[in-house]
Amino acid sequence: MRNTSGVRLLRDDATRQRATFLELFLDLVFVFALTRISARLIVDFTDGQPGVLAGLGQALLLFLALWAVWSVTVWSTSWLDPDAQIVQTVIIMTLVGAMTMAVAVPHGFGARASLFAITLVTLQIGRVVYFHLAGHGRPDPHQSIRILFWFGLSAPLWVVGGLVNDGTVRGALWTLAVLIDYTGLFLGWPTPRLGAQRLGVQMIAAEHLAERYQQFLLIALGEAIFVIGLSFSGSEFHNDQTGGFVLALVSTVLLWRIYFHVAGGVLGTAIDRSRDAARLATDMAFAHMVMIAGIVLTGVGFELFIAEPLGHLPSAWLIAIFGGPALFLVGRSTLEYQVFGRVSRSRLAGLLALGLLTPPALHLQPLTAGAVAAVVLLGVATADARRSRRRPAETPTPPY
């Protein structure tokens, strides 16, 4: 489809499916954003236990805001032509806005709260308005109205939350804003008289969208590698710290293996075979969001047992050391259901093992607790490998 100036906006069969260099450039900003979130969490875990849960909640809100920015951008470029000048301008706007939000993350609930919130609102509303005006309402003027309607509901909560001085009030307002934003995303921005419609319902470039999800998960693994390297390079290279470094690397490889085993490698085919591709693409975004949050939290656990491998294990540290892998397995199990309509027993067994091992792990040293989590991940990966040898290659069969 072309706008009034004759510029193509929608993808067609000739549009390349691979991510453009500009899209990959945008991802670099989110690499930085994930490092800032990890740094926040590491401080929360090491500077005093009373603030850990509050710090986790704050980091989660900041993460969800950044993920919403990224996911809407990805859906847009899997529906629109990423080589169109208007679309590229929107990506550049997103890059600048996301970078500003990222630098505000370390003090996103303090001195930089207003910067984070105002940038988020300006970016989310500004790029929709720009696209609508520059594209002369094409390809779907009603979609712009739907999105602006929902952003209009959450924007005051973000801005007021950023300006108030009470952290509790800010947390409550931003939590409500996140719920509104994600309800709109999940339901397709239902609006009076216009109804609901998810981005890309007209046409989704399945290969492109699948590749973008895979790339972002690799970005999260890369951020974990960054945390591992930074922590170990700043240590004294003692034997126990070296053991923690090796254990963290092995755990990262296991996370990679578990993700890409079958389901993580056939996302494009699953979207192509789905009876409701737009819904499946939306649901896959939420599954990846959970996995990436788990990887970030796991990376924090790496930092903890590399820096202090021996001695007393604070109970809150198990939130990262065990909770991170558990969160990853929850997201991976959800993705497996989305691709194949079933969940492997090994995933559920891994979650059960982490839950049952948590009480006795309170009496272990940090490095030993990390080893236990790694053994659970190894068990899941080993079960996957055995299942692959016994069964032929499986064809994606999405449940919808």
| Mean pLDDT, range 343-348, rounded to an integer | 94
| Mean pLDDT, range 179-205, rounded to an integer | 85
Q: For the segment 10-45, what is each residue's pLDDT rounded down to a tens digit? A: 776 655 567 889 999 999 999 999 999 999 999 999
Predicted confidence (pLDDT) at residue 239 exceeds the cutoff of 50:
yes
Quick one: which of 17, 22, 26, 4 has its CA closest to 88? 22
Q: Give backbone dihedrals phi and psi of 299, rounded to 5 degrees, phi first.
A: -60, -35
Indicate the average pLDDT of the chain: 91
Q: Is CATH 1.10.10 what the domain over 206-390 is classified as, yes or no?
A: no
pLDDT of residue 139: 77
Place of tokens 């629109």: 80
Distance CA 203, CA 11 (A): 8
| Mean pLDDT, range 201-227, rounded to an integer | 88
| Mean pLDDT, range 237-243, rounded to an integer | 96
pLDDT of residue 16: 54
Look at residue 372 and give its three-state secondary structure.
Answer: helix
DSSP 232-274: HHTS---HHHHHHHHHHHHHHHHHHHHHHTTGGG-HHHHHHH-
Predicted confidence (pLDDT) at residue 226 exceeds the cutoff of 90:
yes
| Mean pLDDT, range 184-191, rounded to an integer | 91
CB 263 within 8 A of CB 286: no
Predicted confidence (pLDDT) at residue 267 exceeds the cutoff of 80:
yes
List, in order, residues 6 or more apart from 105 with CB less than 8 Å away: 33, 36, 37, 40, 62, 112, 116
Domain parsing of the chain, residue ranges = 21-187, 206-390
| Mean pLDDT, range 86-92, rounded to an integer | 94
Instruction: Record the pTM.
Output: 0.93
pLDDT of residue 119: 98
Q: For the segment 143-160, what is each residue's pLDDT rounded down to a tens digit? A: 889 999 999 999 999 999
Number of other CB atoms surrounding residue 328 within 10 Å: 27
pLDDT of residue 288: 97
Predicted confidence (pLDDT) at residue 67 exceeds the cutoff of 80:
yes
Quick one: tokens of 192? 């009076």
Q: For the segment 124-150, what is each residue's pLDDT rounded down to a tens digit? A: 999 999 998 988 777 778 888 999 999
Q: For the segment 362-375, what is each residue's pLDDT rounded down to a tens digit? A: 999 999 999 999 99
pLDDT of residue 140: 77
Q: Give backbone dihedrals phi and psi of 319, rounded to 5 degrees, phi first.
A: -60, -40
pLDDT of residue 76: 86
Q: For the segment 293-318, what is each residue's pLDDT rounded down to a tens digit? A: 999 999 999 999 999 999 899 999 99
Out of 45-54, 230-239, 244-253, pick the least confident: 45-54
Quick one: tokens of 80? 């629109």
Does a cis peptide bond (omega within 30 degrees of 0) precede residue 82? no
